Structure 1
Amino acid sequence: MFKSAFSKTALLVAGVMMAGAVSAKEMKIGFVDVREVFSQLPQAAKLQETMKAEFGGKIAEVQKLEKDIAFNVEKFKRDGSTMSDEQKKKLQEDIGKQQQQYEQLARPLGEQIRARETEERNKLQALIKSAIDQIAAKDQYDLVLNAEAAVYAKPEYNISAAVVAQVSKAK
């Protein structure tokens, strides 16, 4: 009797394991390298151009101010020993004003740039997600993973190129 119950249990466990293996084999899984997709999109290059056009003038102003500060600091180091006390004081005041102006310009500009980049990246990520959803539905994928989540995957399961192609068509 013990042998009969054991063999029935073993058969049941083996059957469940085989059924699980069969259903896993039938599952269609793909993966996407989202970073690579993002880097290949023409919209990402256009984003960089847009950011340059939008903030280029302010960035140039901040960079000029950085150079002016660096020049004056170097001048103070180089010529400080030969300057009069009044000249040193004047140059230090100029450097202080420039640094204050730099902080007033650079910090808000950096925040504006980061906010704008985030806004535009979120739009692109939404397009990527939509493309993944459409490709997964059309090609009947049961599961699509981010490439970073997969330890190993065969290249034929990579749908990144299809995602790039679809998102590239979007405006």
Structure 2
Amino acid sequence: MKKIIATAALVLATLAPAAQAAQKIAVINMQGLVAQHPNAEGLQQRVQDAFAERVTEMQKMQEQGIEMQQKLEKDGAMMSADQRTEIERKMQSLQADMQLKGKALQEDMQKKGQEEQRVILMEIGKAVEKVAKAEGYDIVLEARSVMWADESNNISAKVLEAVQQGN
């Protein structure tokens, strides 16, 4: 009985490295795939278009601030102290409002950009899975995390083609 267990263990030990060696590994250049994705080109423009109205509002507020500053510089000497104080307070209020709205706009634009990029990454992920299964790869690694890989193991072009064909 001990001989059978020892023989079985020896057979399994010799087969394990062979099973591991049979694994097929591919690499992809994820950064390149994202950059070449059909929707990546217009991503920034789509984000800007989505918030164009708010950007225009911010520009108008900035112009108002410049006008107030110019009025204060031009007519400040002829104004009463109360008039100057009123304009200065309006400018401070406008600047605080601009900072608040500007920060919110920046955060919203960043969120929208991340959502758009997440869609791109999901499409690439589906394409990677499709190509890997079709080509019989067991593992797909990101090229930046690999010290070296033969170019024949790089499936980035095939993944990009799958993305362009709509997975």
Interval of TM-score (by shorter of Structure 1 and Structure 2) = 0.7 to 0.9
1:59 is matched with which residue? 55
Pair 1:33 & 2:29 matched: yes
Q: Partners of 1:68 and 1:152 in 2: how far apart? A: 57
1:133 is matched with which residue? 129
* 1:118 paired residue among 92, 114, 118: 114
Q: Partners of 2:104 and 2:30 in 1: how far apart? A: 30
Pair 1:165 & 2:166 matched: no
Displacement after TM superposition at 1:147 (Å): 1.6
Tell me which protein shows more helix as a share of its residues: 1
Size of the alignment, in residue pairs?
156
Displacement after TM superposition at 1:114 (Å): 2.3
Pair 1:143 & 2:143 matched: no
Pair 1:102 & 2:98 matched: yes
Counterpart of 2:35, as a letter, is S
Show structure 1 runs of 5+ residues with no match: 1-11
Structure 1 runs of 4+ off > 3 angstroms?
Answer: 18-25, 63-69, 71-76, 82-88
Q: Provide the aligned C-alpha RMSD in A.
A: 3.4
Identity level (%): 22
Stretch of structure 1 that moved more, 116-125 or 131-140: 116-125
For residues 3-61 of structure 1, give each alpha carbon's deviation from its aligned partner in whole angstroms, at most 9, with x where no partner exists.
Answer: xxxxxxxxx7xxx5x86664444321111121211111111123333222211221233
Task: Tell me the TM-score normalized by structure 2.
Answer: 0.72
SS of the residue aligned with 1:42?
coil
Displacement after TM superposition at 1:138 (Å): 0.1
Any conservation in 2 of the 1:72–1:91 contact (CA below 8 Å)? no
Show structure 2 runs of 5+ residues with no match: 1-9
